């Protein structure tokens, strides 16, 4: 059951082969057994989840079930969920129980899906390793000495270890795709504006985008059908017709033009990752695709541009956490200014403070033109690179991450090295494009390798088709990590 597709789980629920209560309990039991090893979940509320499952069973019995009715879905703890602890991985919000639902949570509730709990994440989504959470590090189920990637590492680890059938994530600079790659699962970051950010705790508003994480592209299509859609409460939400993102899954790939950016296959890419990606590309050629050499000449600027713009937006967004309205407040202070200062000093972790200081600096009078304005101009050039590339190809492919998962603590004292682990993913966020990562083999150390697929604006259905056809021809996405003897997981 734990490796069953969402489509098949839905069929089993409708045919009464299993109830949602039984399915939910199965995954709750797996969480109890494996979460102490992985730390993938921050919050579990068995009673709430089972109550939702019971309601889903009633909906199914009434004949009004949708494709996700009764399916347990884990929610990244960046999404506010009414009555649930919503911490964003921070001490600052360690005691915050949300009084409302994020748009994404509302959409899942309307579909009849079951909230299985809130997954661990880097504090305020700032990190590439899931080591900055106030609630402790998440471990990679393929190797407990390795990081799961960040910031959606809890969601990725939970899906990979089959603690849940699917999960949500958010992607500001690669935070769905990089952990998906490092855990051997499928994750998609949609075009900016396709999924509402209402109720998604903000990190960098012009870059943040929610998306699904699951075992396969087919599962992600079902999840995206629920998550996507216009929301008037988010001024950046795009007013578009609803799509069926699974409509093209079975289309053949003959004639597909795949662009290979030379900058994604240069120095810094480890040999075993390069070998796995080349093998994946060879599989695509067998499926009828052709590869085209392209260039993204400004991609080398993506990391420095990102680390000017994202901290600038973060420094503004995080100004609201001052101990007055909600969340943590310093226990001892002399006056209002002292309370603000001590609350923020004690409530934020080191990485968050680093980015707030960078962001405040680049936005300050005298430095705005030199850093922030210049970075915005370079962002335009990076986006134009992709526009030029899509005149030559239909999809762009390359590695999601330059290496497989690195060891816990390996880059903790070297922020620049940590930031470079997102070198292939950040440009997609700066351009607002959709991108995804799918499993494409294993490195020399036995840790997963991810293939990144980048599409043009609003090409999610085509991207999922491209990923699905590969997954019909290979079995990397069905492999399970060697965890949990007696819990139904085998290597």
Q: What is the mean pLDDT of residues 141-154?
A: 97
Which residues form the domain of 312? 300-379
pLDDT of residue 1: 84
| Alpha carbon distance 177, 452 (integer Å) | 8
- In this structure, the answer to whether residues 97 and 224 fall within a common structural domain is yes
Q: pLDDT exceeding 70 applies to what percent of the chain?
A: 98
pLDDT of residue 484: 59
- In this structure, the answer to whether residues 245 and 354 fall within a common structural domain is no
Q: Calculate the average pLDDT of the chain.
A: 96
Q: pLDDT exceeding 90 applies to what percent of the chain?
A: 93
Residue 462 lies in a domain: yes
Q: What is the mean pLDDT of residues 223-252?
A: 97
**Distance between alpha carbon 177 and the CA centroid of its chain, in Å?**
6
- In this structure, the answer to whether residues 37 and 181 fall within a common structural domain is yes
Residue 484 lies in a domain: no
> What phi and psi values does residue 159 have, to the nearest 5 degrees?
-70, -45
| CA angle at 274 for the pair 270 and 279, rounded to the nearest 5° | 155
Three-state DSSP class for residue 364: coil
pLDDT band at 490 (very low <50, low <70, confident <90, very high): very low
* CA-CA-CA-CA dihedral for 449, 454, 458, 461, to nearest 10: -50
Three-state DSSP class for residue 189: strand
- In this structure, the answer to whether residues 312 and 409 fall within a common structural domain is no
- In this structure, the answer to whether residues 128 and 151 fall within a common structural domain is yes
Judged against a pLDDT cut of 70, whether residue 486 lies above it is answered with no
Question: Tell me, what CATH number does 104's domain have?
Answer: 3.90.1300.10
pLDDT of residue 254: 97
Beta strands in 377-478 (DSSP E): 395-399, 435-442, 448-454
| Alpha carbon distance 66, 62 (integer Å) | 11
- Among residues 379, 413, 430, which one ends one of the domains? 379
pLDDT band at 215 (very low <50, low <70, confident <90, very high): very high
Q: Which residues are catalytic?
A: 76, 151, 175
Residues whose CB falls within 8 Å of the CB of residue 369, separated by 6 or more in sequence, listed in order: none
- Among residues 379, 402, 418, which one ends one of the domains? 379
Whether 150 and 456 have beta carbons less than 8 Å apart is answered as: no
pLDDT band at 491 (very low <50, low <70, confident <90, very high): very low
Q: What is the mean pLDDT of residues 22-43?
A: 97
Three-state DSSP class for residue 382: helix
Structural domains in the chain (count): 2
- In this structure, the answer to whether residues 210 and 325 fall within a common structural domain is no
Q: pLDDT tens across 404-422, in order? A: 999 999 988 887 777 777 8
Q: What is the mean pLDDT of residues 176-202?
A: 98
Per DSSP, the residues of 103-172 read: HHHHHHHHHT-EEEEEE--SGGG--SSS---TT----BTTBTTB---SSSHHHHHHHHTTSSSEEEEE-S
- In this structure, the answer to whether residues 159 and 91 fall within a common structural domain is yes
Residue 285 lies in a domain: no
Cis peptide before 198 (omega within 30 of 0): no
- In this structure, the answer to whether residues 372 and 430 fall within a common structural domain is no
Residue linked to tokens 């921050």: 42
- In this structure, the answer to whether residues 358 and 396 fall within a common structural domain is no
Residue 205 lies in a domain: yes
Count how many Cα atoms sit within 13 Å of the Cα of residue 487 in the half-sphere of its side chain: 21
Q: What is the mean pLDDT of residues 389-404?
A: 97
10 Å Cβ neighbour count for 117? Answer: 31
- In this structure, the answer to whether residues 222 and 88 fall within a common structural domain is yes
- Among residues 379, 413, 434, which one ends one of the domains? 379
Residue 277 lies in a domain: no
Q: How many residues does the chain have?
A: 491
Judged against a pLDDT cut of 80, whether residue 109 lies above it is answered with yes
| Alpha carbon distance 397, 387 (integer Å) | 15
- In this structure, the answer to whether residues 152 and 60 fall within a common structural domain is yes
Residue 445 lies in a domain: yes
Whether 486 and 218 have beta carbons less than 8 Å apart is answered as: no
pLDDT of residue 213: 98
**Distance between alpha carbon 489 and the CA centroid of its chain, in Å?**
23
**Distance between alpha carbon 394 and the CA centroid of its chain, in Å?**
24
Residue 365 lies in a domain: yes
Alpha helix (H) residue ranges in 269-392: 271-286, 302-317, 336-347, 350-363, 374-389
- In this structure, the answer to whether residues 345 and 465 fall within a common structural domain is no
């Amino acid at each position: 059951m734990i490796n069953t597709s969402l489509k098949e789980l839905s069929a089993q629920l409708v045919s009464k082969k299993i109830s949602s209560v039984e399915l939910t309990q199965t995954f709750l039991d797996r969480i109890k057994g494996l979460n102490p090893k992985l730390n993938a979940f921050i919050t579990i509320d068995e009673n709430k989840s089972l109550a939702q499952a019971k309601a889903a069973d009633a909906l199914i019995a009434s004949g009004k079930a949708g494709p996700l009715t009764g399916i347990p879905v884990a929610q990244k703890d960046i999404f506010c969920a009414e009555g649930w602890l919503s911490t964003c991985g921070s001490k600052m919000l360690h005691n915050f129980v949300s009084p409302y639902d994020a748009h994404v949570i509302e959409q899942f509730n309307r579909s009849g899906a079951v909230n299985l709990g809130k997954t661990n994440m880097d504090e305020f989504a700032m990190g590439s390793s899931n080591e900055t959470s106030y609630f402790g590090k998440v471990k990679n189920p393929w190797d407990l000495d390795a990081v799961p990637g960040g910031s959606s590492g809890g969601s990725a680890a939970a899906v990979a270890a089959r603690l849940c059938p699917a999960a949500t994530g958010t992607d500001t600079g690669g935070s769905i795709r990089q952990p998906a790659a490092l855990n051997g699962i499928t994750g998609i970051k949609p075009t900016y504006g396709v999924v509402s950010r209402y109720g998604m705790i903000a990190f960098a508003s012009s870059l943040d985008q929610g998306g699904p994480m699951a075992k396969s592209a087919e599962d992600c299509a079902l999840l995206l059908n629920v998550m996507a859609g216009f929301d008037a409460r988010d001024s950046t939400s795009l007013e578009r017709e609803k799509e069926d993102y699974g409509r093209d899954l079975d289309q053949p790939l003959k004639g597909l033009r795949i662009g290979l950016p030379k900058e994604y296959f240069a120095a810094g890419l480890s040999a075993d990752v390069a070998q796995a990606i080349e093998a994946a590309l060879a599989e695509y050629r067998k499926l009828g695709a052709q590869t085209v050499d392209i260039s993204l000449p400004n991609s080398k600027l993506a990391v420095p541009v990102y680390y000017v713009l994202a901290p600038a937006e973060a420094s503004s967004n995080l100004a609201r956490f001052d101990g007055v309205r909600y969340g943590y407040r310093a226990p001892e202070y002399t006056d209002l200014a002292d309370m603000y200062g001590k609350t923020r000093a004690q409530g934020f972790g080191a990485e968050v403070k680093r980015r707030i200081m960078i962001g405040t600096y680049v936005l300050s009078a005298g430095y705005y033109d030199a850093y922030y304005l210049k970075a915005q101009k370079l962002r335009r050039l990076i986006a134009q690179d992709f526009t030029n590339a899509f005149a030559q190809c239909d999809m762009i492919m390359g590695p999601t991450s330059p290496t497989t998962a690195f060891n816990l603590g390996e880059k903790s004292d070297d922020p620049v090295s940590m930031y470079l682990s997102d070198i292939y993913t950040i440009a997609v966020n700066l351009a607002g494009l959709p991108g995804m990562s799918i499993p494409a083999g294993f490195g020399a150390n036995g840790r997963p390798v991810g293939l990144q697929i980048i599409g043009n604006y609003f090409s999610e259905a085509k991207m999922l088709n491209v990923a699905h056809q590969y997954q019909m021809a290979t079995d990397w996405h069905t492999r399970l990590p060697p965890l949990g003897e007696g819990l139904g997981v085998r290597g």
